[in-house]
Structure 1
Amino acid sequence: MTRTPEEAVRGLWTTLSARDYDGIADWVTDDCLYLDMPLGPSLSARGPADIVKRLQVGWGDLAAYENHDGLLVADDAGNVMYEHSETWTFRSGEVFTLAFATVHRVRDGKVCLWKDYWDYGAIMNNAPASWVEALATADTSWVYDATEDLAALSG
């Protein structure tokens, strides 16, 4: 069964909303690049296992996380633009919703490129100090410098 690009992206985000870390590999390629664009390509993750580690840096200590579906536009080449938002609930009680624009590229029914665009200041202004401080000691074994990959994909 081959998924359409729309099905691959919506399936990935349904899995993410459930924080089903084991299920992510069903939706991304073994060489998938994940980039949080506000942080730059030098702090990217590559492949399902490292993408999970990266996601757990942000979401690992959340009491709840929910993706809110939004506008999804796809072309025949497998490029997908997805406008959505996420609600983060911290264990200390803070709750905020962050707007996202995400660019995906889908190959053979799985996401092979995932670029998130979001407001860095919104997280830093709404997250509790304990969450921000924990970033300094977070697992960074996932870090992959995708600078050259991104240049090749864009050019």
Structure 2
Amino acid sequence: MTQSIQRPQWADASSEAARAHGADEALVLEFMDALSSNDADRLIAYFADDTMYHNMPLPAAYGRDAVHATLAGLFTVMSIDKVDTFYIASRDGVVFTERVDLLTALPTGKSFELPVTGILHIRDGKITGWRDYFDLRSFEEAVDFALGG
């Protein structure tokens, strides 16, 4: 399913701030593109063994196996159809992103554009930490499906 995202008025796709500068940012943008594969087996290759993943409104997953299980579980109830990263910046192995994710709740078939701020920690070309901040309630109301339980 390929859908377009309504680009927010504040987002400038042609900005230098939307392009990768350095290997860490390039890795994060590659990973963001790979998210739409909805394939936990493919995505886990980006993560270090001692990694952590936390969708901030939901419980965190610690360790590669737990991150894999969390991603696999998410992909049974929702799909990531597209990720548009509008701004990216980094310092000392920490990469910040501002983006909009186009998600579909599989039980309802409803899609929603979700603004997300993400922070990823990179070490030796692998993700050692990934935190996403978003409004869970907005997503749940838009797609008529509760991720938070």
Unaligned stretches of 5+ residues in structure 2: 1-21
3-state SS of 1:30 partner: coil
| Aligned with 1:86 (options 97, 101, 113) | 101
Q: Relative to structure 1, is the Cα distance of residues 48 and 15 closer, same or farther in structure 2, using a 3 angstrom cutoff?
A: farther
Q: How far apart in 1 are the matches of 2:36 and 2:109?
A: 19
Letter in 2 for 1:83: E
The count of corresponding residues between Structure 1 and Structure 2 is 127
2:46 is the counterpart of 1:27? yes
Cα shift at 1:63: 5.8
Q: How far apart in 1 are the matches of 2:66 and 2:143?
A: 24
- Cross-structure match for 1:121: 137
Q: How far apart in 2 are the matches of 1:56 and 1:135?
A: 16
2:147 is the counterpart of 1:105? no
Which aligned pairs between 1:6-155 and structure 2 lie closer than 5 A? 6-39=25-58, 43-62=59-78, 65-75=81-91, 77-91=92-106, 92-128=108-144, 131-132=145-146, 136=149
Letter in 2 for 1:73: A
Q: TM-score, with normalisation over the residues of structure 2?
A: 0.74
Contact kept, 8 Å, 1:81 with 1:101, in 2: the verdict is: yes
Q: TM-score, with normalisation over the residues of structure 1?
A: 0.71
Q: CA RMSD in A?
A: 2.2
The percent identity for this pair of structures is 24
Q: Which has the higher contact order (CA 8 A, sep 6+)?
A: 1
Deviation sequence 1:13-37 (CA, Å, 0-9, x none): 2221211221222211111111122
Contact kept, 8 Å, 1:57 with 1:135, in 2: the verdict is: no
Q: Relative to structure 1, is the Cα distance of residues 55 and 64 closer, same or farther in structure 2, using a 3 angstrom cutoff?
A: same
Q: Relative to structure 1, is the Cα distance of residues 13 and 64 closer, same or farther in structure 2, using a 3 angstrom cutoff?
A: closer
